[in-house]
Amino acid sequence: MFRIEPRKEPSTLMLYATPLIAVALTILSGFVLFTLLGKDPVRATLLIFYKPLTSFYSLSELIVKATPLILIGAGLALCFRANIWNIGAEGQFTMGAVAGGAMALFLFEVEGFWVLPSIWIAGALGGMLWAAIPALLRNRFNANEILTSLMLVYVASLLLSVLVHGLLRDPQGQNFPESRLFHDAALMPILLPGTRAHVGFAVALLAVLLTWALMRWHVIGFQIKVAGQAPRAARFAGFSGKKIVWFTFLVSGGLAGLAGVFEATGPVGQLVPALPVGYGFTAIIVAFLGRLHPVGILLAGLLLALTYIGGEGAQIAMSLPAATIQVFQGMLLFYLLATDIFVNYRFRPAPMKTAPPSTPASPTAQ
């Protein structure tokens, strides 16, 4: 009926259209799902995708949720552009929170303009350190970074748990597994008075701007693109694959660590075992939905933040299952990957009688 033909050049139209198509298909599937669950689909959809946009407070919450997603997504996009699969941003996020949180506790009750930067730097370094492990393993032993970075997520979350049960536990906390509440000088300055939106959002915007400039104008961005698209051409050009692995892992780890420490010293205000809530994984969707482009990631981060807030709202208002948010996020990624085929291929009606060229065996040409 139809045949799939490779395009000579990727379709620019489709490049921008497929994220929108994916969002539309997700909403459509949501309709079907809600109907099957016996819920009013229109009301549920409006609660998730529209309601949060109608009040100042929920808009500020949107910014709170979007901040880590954008920060992490911007870093991950660098990795993915280079064909390096850092799946462990969640662990780097956690270690950022641990390192930054530990610094905040170390400086407990200390005042000074340098307190905040020290905490942030510690957070970024924590994320970088955690990202350095899969980078080292890949460069040194050719270990698959998808597996190593993912496994380290669980190590990081256990490490956080161990620390808040022991070393970093609040001495006056009646044995609850949590740290002290950070003192005011260690907390994120609030951006919009009366809300939880903090300056981390400004940092996320800065990260978007810097990664955009890097990819557009700097030779490092060029190296990342070449390495991702044609590794042999990268070697021909004299780019070191190992350096690119180091660079992308350290930058994405650093940004994820920053997101972690912002979260700990921002909305949460202390270290708790439940600090990692999946931003590092959702940011993978953000990166792809945003076409691995910094500006796209900004928009995708806001959209995914919307599904968090709207999903929570709908859960409470309509007693929807708690998995609703994950289902929506999963569908979004699924549809995006599925429709992505239109960027490089097109469907054409097959000519009536042509059979595909059936050369006896079609292995790789010699």
Partner 1 sequence: MEKTSEYLLELKGLTKTFPGVVASDNVSFQVGHGEIHALLGENGAGKSTLVKMIYGVLQPDGGVMHLHGETYAPANPSAARAHGLGMVFQHFLLFDALTVIENIELGIAPELAKGDLRSRIVEVSEFYGLKLDPDRLVGELSVGQRQRVEIVRCLLQNPRLIIMDEPTSVLTPQEVEVLFRTLRQLASEGCSILYISHKLEEIRALCHKATVLRGGKVVAACTPAEESAKSLAEMMIGDVLVPAKRTETMIGAERLRVDKVSLPSTHQFGVSLKDVSLSVRGGEILGIAGVAGNGQEELMEFLIGERLTRRADAIVIGGVEAGRKGPDARRALGLCPVPEERLGHAAVPGMSLVENTILSARVRKQLAGSGIIDYARTREFMQEIISGFDVRTAGMDHAARSLSGGNLQKFIMGREILQAPSVLIACQPTWGVDAGAAAAIHNALIDLTKNGAAIVVISQDLDELMAISDRIAVIANGALSDPEPVAEVTIESIGRKMGGPSSVEHADVPH
Binding site for partner 1 (CB under 8 A): 8-10, 217-220, 222, 225-226, 229-230, 232-233, 235-238, 240, 351, 353-366
For the bound state, the minimum distance from the C-beta of residue 333 to partner 1, rounded and expressed in Å, comes to: 23
Rounded distance between C-alpha atoms, residue 280 and residue 326, angstroms: 13
Q: Which is nearer to partner 1, 10 or 112 (CB)?
A: 10
For the bound state, the minimum distance from the C-beta of residue 214 to partner 1, rounded and expressed in Å, comes to: 10
46 to 3, 49, 52, 182, 245: CA distances (angstroms): 38, 5, 9, 37, 43
Identify the DSSP state of 114: T
Q: Which is nearer to partner 1, 349 or 351 (CB)?
A: 351
Q: Which is nearer to partner 1, 3 or 218 (CB)?
A: 218
For the bound state, the minimum distance from the C-beta of residue 278 to partner 1, rounded and expressed in Å, comes to: 32
Amino acid at 164: V
For the bound state, the minimum distance from the C-beta of residue 339 to partner 1, rounded and expressed in Å, comes to: 19
**DSSP bridge partners of 6:** 345
Dihedral Cα 336, 340, 341, 344, nearest 10 deg? 180
Q: Which is nearer to partner 1, 70 or 292 (CB)?
A: 292
Q: Which is nearer to partner 1, 334 or 345 (CB)?
A: 345
For the bound state, the minimum distance from the C-beta of residue 154 to partner 1, rounded and expressed in Å, comes to: 35
For the bound state, the minimum distance from the C-beta of residue 132 to partner 1, rounded and expressed in Å, comes to: 23
Residues in contact with 122: Cβ distance below 8 Å, sequence separation at least 6, in sequence order: 99, 100, 102, 103, 261
Q: Which is nearer to partner 1, 171 or 238 (CB)?
A: 238
Written as one string, the DSSP assignment of 239-271 is --HHHHHHHHHHHHHHHHHHHHHHHIIIII-S-
